[in-house]
Amino acid sequence: MVGEWQQATQRSEYDGRYRTYSSNNRNSCNTVVVHMSDYKWCHGTNCHKSHTQDRVRGSKGSKVLRTRKVKQDAWNEKTFYKYFCSNSCYNDFANANIERIRLLAPRNSPLETPINEPKKDSEGYYNRWVITERGVDTQAE
């Protein structure tokens, strides 16, 4: 039994999300297993009310609009798109929970960044100010 398991693991490839099993036998097939942990449900408060075809689920006579699933990958790993399927869903959630969000990190005083004296740069068609930062922020977030 252990020998069979070792052979199976030697034939499989794992990239962190999918495990592909392949074999040299005739009539074999490759199988991709997608785990549900690769998805999260959208947190948008009105996601299940949007009238789009990809949200329609159910059999004839008992159709529903369902919240979208959001794929978890490297692209959205450190963004709010990890939990929301669209900007609209994010805005709905933020507007519905703005007071709770504000209470997580209240801002009682302004943040300041020390800068050097601004200099006017007259190259090009427009005059613009060149501002360079110096030192460290007075308050860390």
Read off the pLDDT of residues 57-100 as tens digits, 9 standing for 90 and up: 888 889 888 888 888 889 888 888 898 988 999 999 999 999 99
DSSP letter for each residue of the chain: -HHHHHHHHHH-EE-SSEEEE--SSTT---EEEE-GGGEEE---TTGGG---GGGEESSTT--EE-PPEEE--STTTTSGGGT-SSHHHHHHHHHHTHHHHHHHS---S-----BPPPEEE--SSS-EEE--B-S--SS--
Residue 29's pLDDT is: 56
Residue 31's pLDDT is: 52
Q: Is the pTM of this model over 0.85?
A: no
| pLDDT tens digits, one per residue of 10-41 | 544 555 555 555 555 555 555 555 455 689 88
- 134: pLDDT strictly greater than 70: yes
Residue 97's pLDDT is: 93
